[in-house]
Amino acid sequence: MAGAKMARVAPSRRPSPRPRVRPFLDPGRTTTLTGLARRLLPQCGMVKTILVIDDDPAVLRSYGRLLGRLGCTVRLVGSVEEALCDPRLLQGVDLLILDERMPGMSGLDLLASVRASARPEVLLVSALANDDLRARAATLGVVEVIEKPVNPARLLGSVRAALDRP
């Protein structure tokens, strides 16, 4: 077999064993979603429903993937007006995640228009989170104001805290 040629086999590229967070959530971090989901959210018998309202389709998709892996039902809506046009979207929601600045009505405008007794727990996401915004959000019943870019671990921790509230 002195004259036989050995064929070179290219090394196979195996896919990474765990999915990674897309960089538009927080460009400085890549975090394993499945590990975060197991550590930060309780295993419960009831499926929680989360409504996310944001005007950026990429952000909606990333929130949908992140929160969907928790076993939650996630409803994604592109504007406050769209959510108000279909009142069924707000029914049975355990948690509302709102972008503060959107074309047309803002997330806080939605909160002001919805009766407090019918309102679920609320997380507000804002690129410009200052003391005035936090104070106004607190008067409308917002659990927490989260600054952009959103860190996935912080978002999941905030979601857990909001869903665990009595």
Q: pLDDT tens across 134-151, in order?
A: 999 999 989 999 999 999
Asked whether the predicted pLDDT for residue 4 surpasses 70, the reply is no
Residue 1 lies in a domain: no
Looking at residue 166, what is its pLDDT?
A: 73
In a domain, 154, yes or no: yes
CATH number at residue 74: 3.40.50.2300
Convert the chain into a string of H (helix), E (strand) and C (coil).
CCCCCCCCCCCCCCCCCCCECCCCCCCCCCCEHHHHHHHHCCCCCCCCEEEEECCCHHHHHHHHHHHHCCCCEEEEECCHHHHHHCHHHHCCCCEEEEECCCCCCCHHHHHHHCCHHHCCEEEEEECCCCHHHHHHHHHCCCCEEEECCCCHHHHHHHHHHHHHCC
pLDDT for the residue 26: 43
Does residue 58 belong to any structural domain of this protein? Answer: yes
The per-residue pLDDT for 89 is 86
By C-alpha distance, which of 126, 127, 81 is closest to 105? 81
**For 98-113, how does the pLDDT look when each residue is reduced to its tens digit (9 = 90+)?**
999 999 888 988 888 8
- Structural domain span for residue 103: 46-164
Per the domain annotation, does 100 fall within a domain? yes
Check residue 146 and give its pLDDT. Answer: 95
In a domain, residue 27? The reply is no
Residue 18 placed within a domain = no
Choice between 8 and 114, residue whose per-residue pLDDT is larger: 114
| Residue 2 placed within a domain | no
Between residues 69 and 37, which one has the greater pLDDT? 69
Number of structural domains the chain divides into: 1
Convert the pLDDT of each residue in 11-62 to its tens digit. 555 554 444 444 344 444 444 445 555 555 454 446 789 999 999 999 999 9
pLDDT of residue 2: 55
Partners of residue 49 on adjacent β-strands: 73
Backbone angles phi, psi at 115, to 5 degrees: -60, 140
Residue 41 confidence (pLDDT):
47
pLDDT of amino acid 18: 47
